[in-house]
Structures are given as structure tokens and as C-alpha cells.
Amino acid sequence: MSAPARRPVAVVSFAQARNVRREASRNEVELLMPVVSEVFAAIGASKDDMGFICSGSTDYLVGGPFSFVTALDAVGVWPPRAESHVEMDGAFALYEAWVLMQEGAIDAALVYSFGRSSPGDVTEILALQLDPYVTAPLWPSPVALAALQAQALIDAGEATEEELAEVAARNRSAARANPNAQVVSDASPEELLADEYVVAPLRRHALPPITDGAAAIVLAAGEKAREWRERPAWITGIDHRIETHALGCRDLTRSPSTALAAERAGLFEGPPVDLAEVHAPFAHQELIVRRALELGDAVTVNPSGGALAANPVMSAGLIRIGEAAARIWAAESERAVAHATSGPCLQQNLVCVLDASDGAVVGGGA
């Protein structure tokens, strides 16, 4: 099943802040401004080229109201600009920009996201995304819920604690090549298994770091994309799906929303991907997403180190798309898939298929 042909739109520029545990001095605007400058400078573009601006962030992180509005000062929105915002990871803002670009009225869009997890207690803040009547009053942290999922996977015989340590070791070792990574390590899986449990069965290494960060991407259509990037990363399909918030109604060992989004994005049509950037904040979630995306052993997964190396809330998904695209620009990949997640235990998932050729533009959620 494939949707009608789509307008070719590509990822042509990507920048991110260096991911850190605590950005102590700069506020959101000051954190974002150099990232936006860099994403334009890399392709010789300016804000005046952008027909649309879309961002992803949440005010709960810093506890200041309407920080997404003040963040626009980092771009400069005079004369007034067409703009939108999602209270979600920037990957979902990218989806909105892509949809708008399908209309054909604009040729370029800026997508950015930002978030500092350090000012508050991010594990408490993320509990507020849960059902407020029967779930949030228990204050389960994302770690507690992810640990339930990990135990379910272990009980189903589909993962072992050793495998979780292997995932963590591989990602953090790969992160050595990522200058923006926050946590890098050459520790072996055996060494990692000596870590204490945070919420069993998840040990320290299976958790993402707490990160302050920001990221930006420029999308461009058709000839504009070729003008800015010799080898654009064409979005041949993109889709996102959500599952019920009622955790007890889900099979936590599977990610049907990822699988459906992947199908709708055309991942299972055409040649197989050679590279994947998956947004799996907890080690066991990489195993679940790999299965849903049907990634074989030949696929390079998370050469950036993924969310285990840096997990800037609201940006880690957008960064997956940027990292995958950058490898297509560099001819290190012909066809790649990027994945972003939101909500507890992989509740909501976005799949973006990127290709060095725009001839493969077939899919896309409808």
C-alpha cells in the first residue's frame, strides 16, 4: 500500500548544541541562537528564505510560561513570520513543516527544538504527561515505567540484562565519534553489569543521561534543496502514530505504533535501509524499535550514540533525523531511517525514511 506521490522535500541542514548535563549560564534563547545561526550558515541561507518556522519544546522543563514564544527571539521574527509550535519533540514539528511543504506554497522551512532538563527534576516533570487522575498521582518516573517494560521484555524471553548492557556499550562507544555527545564510554558490557540498579531491572547504564540541548534543521523542496545541498537527504516517507495512554492496555514488549508508522512511511517498500538512528532513551527500547522497524544485522544502528549518549528532552528525536541525514549528505548512507519517540514506554512514535535519491518519494502518512 503506498500513498500518492509526494512533493520531494529534503533535510538540507542540521545543527545542534553540544549536549551537556547542565547549561548553567545561558537561557533558552541564548542556547538556541548559535544553533539557528549555524544551521543557516552551513548552507548560506537566512531566515528570510524560510517560508515557515516550527518548533518543539515544553515550558514545564524550565518552569517559565510561553518560553516557546520568547525563543523566537533566537530567530528574529520581524516582519511577522508564519510559525507554529508543538509541545513535543522537534521531530513532530518537522512532520508539521513537511506536511505544510506538501502544499507547494513554500520551498523551505526552519524546524528547531530546545530544552533544559537541569533547572527542575525532569523525572517529576515527565510524570505530568501521564493520565492525571489515576496514574500521575502515583508519580511514576519515566525510569520506573521503562523498567516495567524492560522486565516484561525479559519475562517474555526477548531480552536479557546482558543484552541491555551490550546496547548501552555499543551506543556509548559509537558516541566517541560524536563531538556533541554527553556520555561516552569504552566500558565492556561485562563491566557495565556491575552498575547498581536504579529501578530494577534497569541499571545505571541502561538509562539516558539528563541533558540540556537544542537542535535545528532546514527542510527544502525540489531545486531549492539541490541548490543548498549537493546530496540532499530526501524524505521519501514520514508518519507518526500513537497508542493509548492506558499502560495496562498495551503490550509493552511490542511497538505497534512504530511498525505502523514505518509501513505508512514506506520503510518496507523499496531497497532496505543501510543505517538507522533510533530514539530509544532506554537500552531495551532499542531492541523493541529494531524489531518494529525490521532492521537486519546489516543495518548500522545509532552511529551517533543515540539517546543513551545524549538525551536532550524535546530535541533527541529531531537530532536522530539530523544525524541520519548528515550521513546521506556524506555518502555514508544511501537510504536511512530515523525514529523519534514521545511519551512513556514508546507511546508515540515517528518514522522518517531518508534517501539519497528523490525518485523514491512514495509514502507518507495520509
Partner 1 sequence: MSGAEAGTQPVTVLETPIHLDYVFTPGIAQSIFLRGLARGVFLGQRCPTCGKVYIPSRGSCPVDGVATDEVVELPDTGIVTTYCVVNVPFAGQAVEIPYTCAQVLLDGANISFMGLIQEVPADQVRMGMRVEAVWVPPDELGPSLASVKYFRPTGEPDALYESYEEYL
Partner 2 sequence: MSDGDVLVANHVLDYPYARSVGPVLGAFFTALSEGRIVGVEGSDGAVIVPPTEYDPLTGEDVGELRDVGPGGVVTAWSWQVAPGRKHHLDHPFAWALVRLDGATTAMLHVVDAGDPGAMATGMRVTARFRPPAERRGHVLDLEAFVPEPDGGGR
Binding site for partner 2 (CB under 8 A): 24-25, 63, 119, 123-124, 127, 132-135, 137-141, 144-145, 147-152, 155, 196-202, 244-249, 252
d(CA 309, CA 281): 9
Candidates 1, 65, 66, 78: give the one binding partner 1 (CB under 8 A). Answer: 78
Residue 248 binds which of partner 1, partner 2, none (CB < 5-8 A, kind-dependent): partner 2
d(CA 241, CA 260): 7
CA Rg value for the chain: 19
Residue 77 binds which of partner 2, partner 1, none (CB < 5-8 A, kind-dependent): partner 1
Residue 63 engages partner 1 in binding (rule: CB under 8 A)? yes
Residue 124 or 332: the one with the smaller Cβ distance to partner 1 is 124
d(CA 230, CA 226): 6
Q: In angstroms, what is the minimal distance from the CB of 199 to partner 2? A: 5
DSSP conformational letter for 299? S
Candidates 12, 91, 97, 125: give the one binding partner 1 (CB under 8 A). Answer: 125
Candidates 137, 160, 194, 359: give the one binding partner 1 (CB under 8 A). Answer: 137
Residue 144 binds which of partner 2, partner 1, none (CB < 5-8 A, kind-dependent): partner 2
DSSP conformational letter for 160? -
Q: What are the residues whose beta carbons fall under 8 Å from the beta carbon of 159, sequence distance 6 or more?
A: 150, 153, 284, 287
Residue 72 binds which of partner 2, partner 1, none (CB < 5-8 A, kind-dependent): partner 1
Candidates 59, 82, 119, 195: give the one binding partner 1 (CB under 8 A). Answer: 119
Q: Give the 3-state secondary structure of residue 230.
A: coil
Q: In angstroms, what is the minimal distance from the CB of 102 to partner 2? A: 28
- How many residues in the chain? 366
Q: Count residues contacting partner 1 (CB under 8 A)? A: 34
Q: In angstroms, what is the minimal distance from the CB of 324 to partner 2? A: 31
Residue 72 or 109: the one with the smaller Cβ distance to partner 1 is 72
Q: Helix 161-174 and helix 283-293: axis angle, to 10°?
A: 90
Residue in 122, 313, 304 with CA at minimum distance from that of residue 214: 313
End-to-end alpha carbon distance in the chain = 12
Query: Is 307 within 8 Å of 280 (Cβ atoms)?
Result: yes
Q: In angstroms, what is the minimal distance from the CB of 173 to partner 2? A: 27
Neighbouring CB atoms inside 10 A of 72's CB total 18
Binding site for partner 1 (CB under 8 A): 24-30, 33, 36-37, 47, 60, 62-64, 70, 72-78, 118-121, 124-125, 128, 132-133, 136-137
